[in-house]
Structure 1
Amino acid sequence: MVADPGFVVRIPEAIYAEMVAHVLAGYPQEACGALGSVHGTVVKNYPTANVAEHPEDFSIISEQDIVRIFNDIDSYDGDMIYYHSHPITEAYPSARDIEWSRRSGYLYIIFSLQYHPEPPYARVFRISPEGDVTEGEIALFSPE
């Protein structure tokens, strides 16, 4: 894994709080959702249901939700970021996460709840088509 100092995702504190509430509500299963971003700054949160067959160790957004989210993000010419939680493991892409991300090309924000009931923490990753994992930085901010 390589840290890339130019890779930063800016998230408003209020949206980050929504994301944390969503992954906590899904515990002890994996929770998932998407974010809409413009030029690396998150502008909208799309919390979704996890429709994976085994939600205790994987997450999938339904096809209907993906279409709805893509259509909305297209309306403001944004990019999608996928987020999900790992209820008992580190906030790091699993082998399955890497395989899915290689195909999708999305940035991945992963929350770890391994120290629950302590608050979860999040990390962001870019995964190349070859499966190389690069960690970026999450920068929280208060919009003025």
Structure 2
Amino acid sequence: MVAEAFVVRIPRTMYSEMVAHVTAGYPNEACGLLASKDGRVVKNYPTPNAAEHPDDFSEISPQDLLRIANDIDTYDGEMFAYYHSHPRSEAYPSARDIEWARRNGLYYIIFSLQYHPEPPYARVFSIQADGSVSEGKLELTD
């Protein structure tokens, strides 16, 4: 059975903010969260990378997660997508990405900066509890 394709729509200005954030983090990985309300992406939360080894992994600190969750509660939204960069490799989930993602149910948007200083490219994935990975389509909206 083939998984049904999915589309993640992000406002163009928000996508530009995400690109600026992950580019500024180079040569380390950079990360953040997107929140949605009523199925629409409404807010970008760029965060510092709290991973012990930010050159090859990204992680949002518990304090930042709590701050973001509290803010999302103020407008009755929900966490929608985790995004991060791969400074030296393609935009595809690593084994460690899959292990983390299979537990949280968020979309994963991965930016590749492997051709830096060229602008990064991004891909979006859905990672299921069993570790299966399916790729969706990113669409930028006005």
Is the 8 Å Cα contact of residues 4 and 135 (structure 1) preserved in structure 2? Answer: no
Count of matched residue positions in the alignment of Structure 1 and Structure 2: 140
For residue 122 of structure 2, what is the aligned residue in structure 1?
A: 122
- Is 2:28 the counterpart of 1:29? yes
- Is 2:50 the counterpart of 1:45? no
For residues 123 and 73 of structure 2, what CA distance do their matches in structure 1 show?
25
For residues 15 and 23 of structure 2, what CA distance do their matches in structure 1 show?
12
Is the 8 Å Cα contact of residues 9 and 40 (structure 1) preserved in structure 2? Answer: no
Structure 1 segments (4+ residues) deviating >6 Å? none
Unaligned runs of 5+ in 1: none
Change (3 A) 1:8 1:39: farther
Matches within 5 A, 1:73-84: 73-80=72-79, 81-84=81-84
Matches within 5 A, 1:101-140: 101-140=101-140
For residues 40 and 29 of structure 1, what CA distance do their matches in structure 2 show?
31
What is the CA deviation profile of residues 15-51 of structure 1, one whole-angstrom value per residue up to 9, with x for unaligned ones? 0000000000000000001111124421111000001
Coordinate RMSD, CA, aligned: 1.3
Unaligned runs of 5+ in 2: none
Change (3 A) 1:38 1:8: farther
* CA apart distance, 1:8: 1.2
Identity %: 71
